[in-house]
Amino acid sequence: MSRYALLVTLCLLVSVSLNVYLLWPVPAPTAVERPPGQPATMVTADSVRKPLASAVQQSAPNFQTEQEETPAPHINTVRQWLEQGNFARVERFLIDALRESPDSAELLLLEADYILATEPLSVAVTHFYAMQELSVFNRAQLETLQNRTAELIKSTITALYNAGDWDMLAQFLEPLFQLNSTDQTLTLKLAEAYARQQKFTLMEDVLANLSTSNAGARSLRQRFLPGQAPGLQDTAESPTATAQTPVTRLALTRYGDQYIANAEMLNRPAALLLDTGASSTAISFELYKALRRFNQVDVIGLFDVRTAGGTIRSPLVRIESMTLGPFKLSNIGVFVMPEDALQQADGLLGMNVLKQFHFQLDQTTAELLLTLRDNRAP
C-alpha cells in the first residue's frame, strides 16, 4: 500500500506543478525587448489580448478602443480647398458641418462661396438673395452680404454688356428679374438684352413692368423697335450693302463642310471653327490653359451652355484682346469648353464676335467677307 500511495502522491505533485506553470501570467515584453515596429499586442494560444486601458478610460462612456475621431478641419483650411478647386472635399465638409450647426453664419457664407464656384452664376446670385432673408447674420455680416450681392450683379452685367454677349446676359438676368421685377436697372438691362437679339415681344413683356412714361423704356423702343433703328435687324447681311465701306476678305481653311478662321487671342494664334449657330465664342480647355499661363484671364462665372451634344456647364471668361484679320476687338466673352471637347480646332467663332460685322461666307473661294459695323454693340 505504501508503494501505491507514493505513486499517487507523485502524480498529484506533477499535476499541480504543471497547472501552476501553465496558469502563471507571462509578463509583457518591455520596450527594449520588443522588436522594432511590433505592436503592443500579445498573442496567446486562444486569444489576442490588447494592452489594458486605464480605469478612467474604461469607465468613460465614450471610450474608443480602436481609433480616435479625426478632428474637423479649420474653416480657413476648407477655404483653401475651395480656392484649390477641391470641391468634393469642401462639399463633404459642408454636409457634416451644417448638419451639426445649421445656423452657423460662417458656414452659410462658406456654402455661398462654394455655390458661387460650382453652380451657374444666376443660381449663385439667387442664393445670395435668399440668404439675406435669414436672421442668423449680424448687422455687419448682412451689410457685407448685401454689398457683395450688388457688386456681383453689377460686375457681371458690365462684363457681359461690354462683351456683347446678349444671350448670356439675358440668361443671367431672367431669374433675378423674377425675384425683383420692380428693379428698374434689371428690367431695362434685360429688355435691352432681348432687343439686341431681336426678341421684341419679350422686350415688351419686360418693359410692361415699368410705367408708360418711363424714359429708359421709351429710349429702348426708339432705338430697337423694327423700322426705327435701321441696320439692327440684320445679323448676317452682305457687305455689298455698305458699298462705301471697304470689304475685308479673310481666307478660311476648309475642314469637311466646315471652315476654320485664323485669329489671335492675347497675341496667341487660335484656329476657330466658324459657327453661326453658336451665340457665343468658345475656346478649348487646352488653349485656355496656354492663355492663362502668361496672361490674366478674368472668370465672369459659370453658365449652362446649349451645344449640339446637349447642355454643358462652362465658365465664361473675358479675353482682353482678340484679332480677326486686320480687326482688333476687346473684352470678348469666351466660354471654356471641357477638356478634349474640341478636337479639330482651338475653339468656335460665334455670333458675339461675328455680329460686330456685316459678314458673308463665300464658299466658292473659302473666304469670310467682313465689313465693320458702324453701330457695333458697346
Whether the Cβ atoms of residue 265 and residue 322 lie closer than 8 Å to each other: yes
CA distance 157 to 301: 11
CA distance 221 to 208: 12
Dihedrals phi, psi of 276, to nearest 5 degrees: -75, -10
How many other CB atoms sit within 10 Å of the CB of residue 166? 24
The CATH number given to whatever domain includes residue 262 is 2.40.70.10
CA 362 to chain centre: 39
Domain range holding 270? 239-372
* Range among 4-13, 348-357, 366-375 with highest mean pLDDT value: 348-357
Whether the Cβ atoms of residue 253 and residue 369 lie closer than 8 Å to each other: no
Within a domain: residue 312?
A: yes
Within a domain: residue 163?
A: no
Whether the Cβ atoms of residue 115 and residue 124 lie closer than 8 Å to each other: yes
* Mean pLDDT to the nearest integer, 347-372: 91
CA 73 to chain centre: 23
| pLDDT > 70? residue 331 | yes
Q: What is the pLDDT of residues 46-101, one digit of tens each?
A: 333 333 333 333 444 444 444 455 577 888 999 999 999 899 999 999 999 999 99
Q: How high is the pLDDT of residue 326?
A: 93
Dihedrals phi, psi of 271, to nearest 5 degrees: -90, 110
Dihedrals phi, psi of 92, to nearest 5 degrees: -60, -40
Dig out the grid coordinates for 67 from the structure: 481609433
Within a domain: residue 341?
A: yes
Q: Work out the percent of the chain whose per-residue pLDDT is above 90.
A: 51
Within a domain: residue 167?
A: no
Within a domain: residue 276?
A: yes
| pLDDT > 70? residue 15 | no
| pLDDT > 60? residue 315 | yes
Within a domain: residue 213?
A: no
How large is the greatest C-alpha to C-alpha distance in the chain, in angstroms? 144
pLDDT bracket for residue 343 (50, 70, 90): confident
pLDDT bracket for residue 306 (50, 70, 90): confident
| pLDDT > 70? residue 376 | no
Q: Which residue has the higher pLDDT, 182 or 72?
A: 182
Within a domain: residue 116?
A: no
CA atoms within 13 A on the CB side of 350: 25
Whether the Cβ atoms of residue 283 and residue 269 lie closer than 8 Å to each other: no
Count of domains observed in the chain: 1
Angle at 182 between CA 178 and CA 184, to 5 degrees: 110
Q: How high is the pLDDT of residue 202?
A: 95
pTM for the model: 0.67
Helix/strand/coil (H/E/C) assignment for every residue in the chain:
CHHHHHHHHHHHHHHHHHHHHHHCCCCCCCCCCCCCCCCCCEECCCCEECCCCCHHHHHCCCCCCCCCCCCCCCHHHHHHHHHCCCHHHHHHHHHHHHHHCCCCHHHHHHHHHHHHHHCCHHHHHHHHHHHCCCCCCCHHHHHHHHHHHHHHHHHHHHHHHHHCCHHHHHHHHHHHHHHCCCCHHHHHHHHHHHHHCCCHHHHHHHHCCCCCCCHHHHHHHHHHCCCCCCCCCCCCCCHHHHCCCCCEEEEEEEECCEEEEEEEECCEEEEEEECCCCCCEEECHHHHHHHHHHCCCEEEEEEEEEECCEEEEEEEEEEEEEEECCEEEEEEEEEECCCCCCCCCCEEECHHHHCCEEEEEECCCCEEEEEECCCCCC
| pLDDT > 70? residue 27 | no
Q: How high is the pLDDT of residue 9?
A: 62
Lowest-pLDDT range, 3-17, 66-80, 93-107, 213-227? 3-17
Within a domain: residue 199?
A: no
| pLDDT > 60? residue 188 | yes
